[in-house]
Structure 1
Amino acid sequence: MSKRQHVTIKGTKDGITLFLDDLCSYEELKKDLESKLSSHKNSSGDSQLLPVRVNAGNRYLTAGQQEELKELIRRKKHLVVETIESEVISRQEAKEQAEKSAVTTVAKMIRSGQVLEVPGDLVLIGDVNPGAVVMAGGNIFIMGILKGVAHAGCYGDTQAVIAASAMMPSQLRISQNVLTLQGKAGNDNLRDMECAYIDEENEITLGRLQSLASLRPGLTRLEGGR
């Protein structure tokens, strides 16, 4: 009977992919991985780094195990780990993902000096006064007047948007992008039902609220994801 293969190496045009057996023990896996990498020849040339993708299947790898496998692979000359993928995640990771996709509804006025932050989308029923800050890991929808600072996608989501019944912000932020609207917070000329988003030139742009349906089709998940 032939010995079960715990690691399968598949070459691609972009590098190599390592498929890890998700039924054997972790120690058996490491031993077989080191053996396979020792016998693997770099066909791309001695001086060229070879990208490696690791597919762990249904095996859960802790952060420590991932670092251990990365170090094992890095010790082999000219191999560099690009990604480690797994079909399973921890309960904590699942909880964090659920929080980031959740919609938080708040009904109150955010006053000067106050900061409201939520992990997912924010629906605020009320005004954001000058000197106040609202932050969300996802989108921000304000059913009121935005006069302070709104920061959507504050954990790095560049697809996030900001929408308000009336726009008079002192500053808008989406991910790392910033748009300061000097003087507008004290302007009586409200711009009704506007939205802000990052355009194709990587700049924050203000547009009509009705344009969101075509700009961000994924927002329909708030209506049931149709």
Structure 2
Amino acid sequence: MKKWQNVTIKGTKDGLTLHLNDDCSFEDLKKELDEKLSGTLLTNEDRALIPVKLETGYRYLTVEQQGELRDLVRQKNHLVVEEINSQVITTEEADKQREENGMVTIARIVRSGQVVEVPGNLLLIGDVNPGGTIIAGGNIFVMGALKGIAHAGCDGNDQAVIAASSMKASQLRISDCLNRAPDHTNRDEKHEMECAYIDINRNIVIDRLQGLMHLRPNLTRLEGGR
């Protein structure tokens, strides 16, 4: 029988990663974790806190169980749990992820004073008139003229993009970055479909849509998908 088979400790440049067996009972897991941490602990009082990451596999941990593991690790000098990763999520969490990563399709004209907001990605078939606003937690795609305000990645998603058949927005926002009235050399000239994204300098850049596939290769796949 292998010793410590329920707990594997690996050191990394960022601290410790503990891989926890997801087949044993929770009580057996806690007992072995306590014993193993006690047997390998450094006792130098001047040592800084060591961050610990827990990998729990397919074991679902309640909030109380997570708290027990955090307390157990914290009782050991210089160790503190900074992250708990699990391959299991609740139905509520799955529904929330689906909502945030899904695509909402709306066919309408967003007129002055109107606001359309969705938690995930937005596909608008129609125009956004001056004074109209569209907001999305993910990407925004406008199959029409974007002349009003568009805010993509409103919850802090820097990878979000805005694309429109005619990009003449009065204001573009992605995450916390802002770009007012994008400048075109000839406002009356017909343009091909364009996109806006945050570059490495955290500026909003407007470019041809064809370049987007190189900048955001995972755009055609929902986040967390395969």
| 1:57 match | 57
CA distance in 2, matches of 1:71, 1:7: 17
* Distance 1:189-1:44 versus aligned 2 partners, 3 A rule: farther
| 1:143 match | 143
1:146 is aligned with what amino acid?
L
8 Å CA contact 1:166–1:190 kept in 2: the answer is no
Q: CA RMSD in A?
A: 2.8
8 Å CA contact 2:137–2:152 kept in 1: the answer is yes
| 2:6 match | 6
- Secondary structure in 2 matching 1:210: helix
Q: Give a deviation string over 1:40-85, Cα, whole Å, max 9, x none.
A: 3238884222121111011012334323322332232211223211
- Secondary structure in 1 matching 2:221: helix
CA distance in 2, matches of 1:152, 1:143: 15
- Secondary structure in 1 matching 2:54: strand
CA distance in 2, matches of 1:107, 1:99: 19
Mind listing any 5+ residue stretches in structure 1 that lack a counterpart? none
* Distance 1:44-1:208 versus aligned 2 partners, 3 A rule: farther
CA distance in 2, matches of 1:213, 1:206: 14
| 2:162 match | 162
- Percent identity for Structure 1 against Structure 2: 58
Deviation at 1:104, TM superposition (A): 1.2
8 Å CA contact 1:74–1:80 kept in 2: the answer is yes
CA distance in 2, matches of 1:114, 1:75: 55
2:20 is aligned with what amino acid?
L
Q: Does 1:211 align with 2:211?
A: yes
Q: Identify which range, 79-88 or 61-70, moves more after superposition.
A: 61-70
| 1:35 match | 35
CA distance in 1, matches of 2:115, 2:151: 11
* Distance 1:115-1:190 versus aligned 2 partners, 3 A rule: farther
| 2:105 match | 105
CA distance in 2, matches of 1:2, 1:164: 60
8 Å CA contact 2:4–2:32 kept in 1: the answer is no
* Distance 1:147-1:92 versus aligned 2 partners, 3 A rule: same
* Distance 1:138-1:2 versus aligned 2 partners, 3 A rule: closer
8 Å CA contact 1:44–1:50 kept in 2: the answer is no
* Distance 1:64-1:113 versus aligned 2 partners, 3 A rule: farther
| 2:75 match | 75
After TM superposition, where is structure 1 displaced by more than 6 Å over at least 4 residues in a row?
1-4
8 Å CA contact 1:150–1:172 kept in 2: the answer is yes
8 Å CA contact 1:168–1:190 kept in 2: the answer is no
CA distance in 1, matches of 2:219, 2:4: 47
Deviation at 1:4, TM superposition (A): 6.8
2:201 is aligned with what amino acid?
E
8 Å CA contact 1:119–1:136 kept in 2: the answer is yes
| 2:120 match | 120
Deviation at 1:35, TM superposition (A): 3.3
8 Å CA contact 1:164–1:194 kept in 2: the answer is yes
Deviation at 1:92, TM superposition (A): 1.5
* Distance 1:85-1:131 versus aligned 2 partners, 3 A rule: same
2:26 is aligned with what amino acid?
Y
1:169 is aligned with what amino acid?
A
Q: Give a deviation string over 1:73-102, Cα, whole Å, max 9, x none.
A: 223221122321112111112222222221
Mind listing any 5+ residue stretches in structure 2 that lack a counterpart? none
Task: Give TM-score scaled by structure 2 length.
Answer: 0.84
| 2:195 match | 195
CA distance in 2, matches of 1:114, 1:177: 22
Aligned residues: 221
